[in-house]
Each structure stands twice: as C-alpha cells, then as structure tokens.
Amino acid sequence: MEMVNITIDSRKLQVPANYTILEAAREANIAIPTLCFLKEINEIGACRMCVVEVKGARSLQAACVYPVSEGLEIYTQSPSVREARKVTLELILSNHDKKCLTCVRSRNCELQRLAEDLNIKDIRFEGESYDYSLDELSPSIVRDPNKCVLCRRCVSMCKNVQTVSVIDTNERGFKTIVSSAFNKSLNEVPCVMCGQCINVCPVGALREKDGTEMVWDALANPDLHVVVQTAPAVRVALGEEFGMPIGSRVTSNMVASLRRLGFDKVFDTDTAADLTIMEEGTELINRIKNGGKLPLITSCSPGWIKFCEHNYPEFLDNLSSCKSPHEMFGAVLKSYYAEKMGIDPSKVFVVSIMPCTAKKFEAQRPEMAATGHPDVDVVLTTRELAKMIKEAGIDFKDLPQRQFDDPMGEATGAAVIFGATGGVMEAALRTVAEVLSGESIENVEYNQVRGVEGIKEATIEVAGLTLKAAVAHGLGNARKLLDRIKAGEAEYHFIEIMACPGGCVNGGGQPIQPSDVRSWIDLRTERAKAIYEEDRDLPIRKSHENPKIKALYSEFLGEPGGHKAHKLLHTHYKQRENYPLDK
C-alpha cells in the first residue's frame, strides 16, 4: 500500500495515500466534527462542519472529501477554522426547530452534541424559518421537515443504497426542503417503510410512528390478554439503548423487562421462525419436485415485499406465500394458543417487538387477519421498547434471570439466525438438506451464505441435487440480483432477500448510532456475531427438530403446507402502482 507523509496540528504522520484528511485525523485520534458525513453513504462535504486549514490553499477545505498527498500540512484548530465551524453551526441552529426537550432524539442528537462540543452559548443569527406540516400519514415513518438540517444523509441512503428514491432535496435557497416529489406524504409514494432513512438521520427529522400508547392502554385493560413476542435481532441490540456494548446479548434482561411491564405472556418470535422454515422448506421442496415456479424467494422482510410489489411485480409468483414469522405467530396465538388456553381470540392482544419499521405497515395489511382479527395488533420497534422500559423506571441492567413462556417459547438455533443476512437461507438449508437426503447432517453451518458481502452465492449438493442459492441484503443489491435474473445472466433455486443492509440486525427500528460510530464500526457484523453465538449455544439447531413445532403440527395444524397451515400461515401479494402509491 502506497503511503504518504503529512502533518496534522504539528504531528507528523504516515498514512495510506487513498485516505481523506478526516480518515487520517481519525487514525491519529485527532477529532474533527462532522454532520453530513456518513462513510461510504454520504461523503459530499456539504455541511462544512469538518472544515480544516490546508497550508497553501486559499480557503478552508472539507476534511471528509479532501484527499491527502505527500507533504500536506493541515490545521484543525486554527482561529479561522474554529470561527468557521461556530458560524456554520449557528446558522444551522438559527432556523432549526429547537424543541429539544420533547424531541425523540433528545440526548441522542448529533446537532445537540455539536452545539455542546463547540461551546455554543448564544445564537447570533435569526434565520428565516418556515412552519412545515408534519407528514404522519404513513403507518411506519413520521417526517418532520422543521427539524431537518439538510445533511442529505437520508437522501443518499434512500437513493444510492436502497435505490427506492422517494425523497430528495426540493426547492432552492432558504426554501430548500428534503421531501417526496410535490411534497407528497410518504404514504402516497412507493416508500417501502424500511426506516433506513431514520437510522442515518442525525436529528429528529425522521422517526417511527409511535405505538407505545396503544400498548400502555392494552396493558391497562383488564378485558385483554396481552402477549408480546420479540424478534431475534432485538436481543442483540436493545442493550445499546442502555449504554451496553454493541452486540451485547440481553435476552434474559429483555424478557424480565417485558414481565415487569405487565405482559401476560412473553414469547419468542424465534418459535415462529422455526415454523416458517417448516412451511417455506416444504414449499421449496414441492416446487423443486413438482416443477413449480423457481427461484423461490423468501418473504420474511416486509420492506422487500413492498419493494417487489412496486418495482418487480413479475417476480410476485416467485415469492414464498409464507407470512413473516411474527405474523405467523400472531395467527397461531389467536387460534391454537387461544383454544389451548380457553381465551376468546378477540381478547388476545398481540404485540410484536421488532427491529423493523416496515412491520408496522405489514401488520395493517388486510391479508394479515387469518382468524378474522388482525394477526398482530401493534408493532413496536426496539427503540420503542427501550422507551417503555425507561418510562417504567426499570433498571434494565439489574434484573433476575428470566426465560420465555411456554407453550410457545422454545426455539432452535436455526430460528435465531433469522436476524442476520443469510440466516433464513441457512436455517432453510439445515432442514431441506435433511429432508431431501433422509439423513442427519452434523455440520449445520453454511458459511457460504454468511457475511456482509452485498450478494452471496452458494451451490449445495443435496441428495443428488445441485441446489443453487443466492442471498442479497439491502434493496440496491436486491435490484442488481433481480436484474441479472431478468437478463438471463443468473439462475437459482432459492433466494433470500432482506430489505435492510445486514438484515434485521441493522433494521430501521434498531438503536440509532451516531455517524462517528456508524462510519467506523460495522454494526451489522458486531450484532450478527451475537446472533451466531446464541445459535451455537442452543441445544437444538434445526427447525424440524423443535418439539414445540412438532406438537403444533400433531395437535393442530396437521402437516406442513396442509390446508389448515395454508389458511393460517400463508398469504398473497399484489402489484402496486409505482407512482403514485395506490391507496
């Protein structure tokens, strides 16, 4: 690797020649403030918070985009640099909605932290402000333009990473606004509700639709039997909301907190993930043996499903008809569980704790009501659960050991890896390989489909069949993969697609990390490590060996893919207009 010699604040450094000043400074532990910067997503030098003085240059330069070169001399704290940063920040604050105490991002706001770090005590300017209306028509995402700082991180994520492109900068000058075309609501454009825009927003301009009050009301209603289920990705991220290291496994703390909140039963969505594998694996085997439509594409990610409905309707018949695990579980809880417990299904109130904002939209789909009642009544994100725990005054770190409730609280290692990209594929292969071969397979880890490479391919030999599989995460990668298939450049039997980069561990409802963490630490990898650790620690690692699932089929559902299972656990999809969104 070619290296160059540079000087930052009188410190002589040797750094890779392809670095920017910001990267070089960070490696030397020299702090340079940023706001619009997000590594590999938004490197545009627009906010000017990272300006530095470069010897020989006529003006201050943005460190996030300025390349290093041999002999470069940089000053990060000169009087002109400090004044420029302060003036820039004061101008941003001059027309910002400063309702910080009631903002969802209070104490986790990058603008707030910059004001503190740069010692802003007064704002010398009174900017021209506009009172924009709140966009809260979407079931998943609320957009508040009054808090927007025009950093464009959400635009880059939506357009360049997810390739959904429903928001951009509109108007000019003081009237510039980040919005959908013609300032339409996110509910009126082909937004897929993935929430990745929320995760990269440095302030409170984007947030999830809050469902906590509905849950508090349900918990206080003596006529309701309120049960909660939690997705696998929640247990490896929730701890971050309480100051714990990224990737901490907090399963027991989470369960204990939910009990303290007053839920009648605390269940594990992983149980339904095992159920999903039974149904989806059966569907794959049937399609392969009977000449069905291939490739079969997974349907666990509602953001991906909505993206497909808008942009690739020709692939709708390729989608697995299986509901996502939490919707399956909701249907089972309002049928099998209600019958077993002698409870009127209308009195069973199901709350899903998910890493995903798109699941709020999914829960409202009319197709998700197998018993005549919504399969799931309310979806809360990981962040919303943390808010409830804090509101209840629960000491999250100091709680007794607790486990999920029976009869629906037992799951396998195959289920827990659903939270990471490639996990659904791997879980399915563990079962499909044994069913097709009729033999027990000891090595259940399929490393070919693990990791954060955008598109992964695997060829597995099973019972004389060469099974070709692919995994894509992030909708930009999904688009590339589907376009290759359409062009006849690739052919597969089975495909897993997750809307969010890295899968559910990096879902739109997960704890928000600031850019100085997100840019340099791979959240996807750190959280996924904990997922795979839990898989290895579990005694059963194959979905078809879960005794609770076996009992569910023998006592209630019959056989995988059977009539009753299909009625409760499967669904259908529809083509949606790409623009404007049909209502």
Which tokens go with 273?
């993930």
Query: Residue 410 to residues 43, 416, 543: CA-CA distances in angstroms?
Result: 45, 11, 11
| Rounded-to-integer distance, Cα 552 and Cα 558, Å | 8
- H runs (alpha helix) in 447-576: 475-486, 515-518, 523-537, 547-552, 563-569
359 in catalytic set: yes
367 in catalytic set: yes
Question: Among 279, 309, 362, 526, which one carries the catalytic annotation?
Answer: 362
| Rounded-to-integer distance, Cα 249 and Cα 527, Å | 9
CB 96 within 8 A of CB 147: yes
Question: Among 359, 360, 456, 542, which one carries the catalytic annotation?
Answer: 359
90 in catalytic set: no
Question: Among 43, 73, 90, 367, which one carries the catalytic annotation?
Answer: 367
340 in catalytic set: no
Which tokens go with 189?
């454009």
Calculate ∠ Cα 372-375-378, nearest 5°. 125
CB 454 within 8 A of CB 472: yes
Which residues make beta-bridge pairs with 178?
Answer: 169
Which tokens go with 461?
């030999």
| Rounded-to-integer distance, Cα 217 and Cα 239, Å | 25
- H runs (alpha helix) in 95-243: 110-117, 153-156, 196-200, 212-219
64 in catalytic set: no
CB 203 within 8 A of CB 115: no
Nearest to 275 by CA among 203, 333, 219: 333
| Rounded-to-integer distance, Cα 508 and Cα 499, Å | 10
Question: Among 158, 300, 322, 356, which one carries the catalytic annotation?
Answer: 300
Question: Among 241, 279, 280, 534, which one carries the catalytic annotation?
Answer: 280
Lookup result for tokens 């594409």: 297
Phi, psi of 195, rounded to the nearest 5 degrees: 80, 5
Q: What is the spatial order of strands in the sheet that 225-230 belongs to?
A: 265-268, 225-230, 348-354, 378-381
| Rounded-to-integer distance, Cα 311 and Cα 313, Å | 6
Query: Residue 547 to residues 311, 412, 428, 457: CA-CA distances in angstroms?
Result: 40, 10, 17, 32
577 in catalytic set: no
284 C-beta neighbours (distance < 10 Å), count: 26
280 in catalytic set: yes
**Which amino acid, 24?**
A
Q: Which positions ≥6 away from 501 have C-beta within 8 Å?
A: 161, 196, 452, 473, 474, 524
| Rounded-to-integer distance, Cα 240 and Cα 248, Å | 8
SS3 (DSSP) at 103: coil
103 in catalytic set: no
Question: Among 320, 324, 515, 543, which one carries the catalytic annotation?
Answer: 320
Residues taking part in catalysis? 280, 283, 300, 320, 359, 362, 367, 504
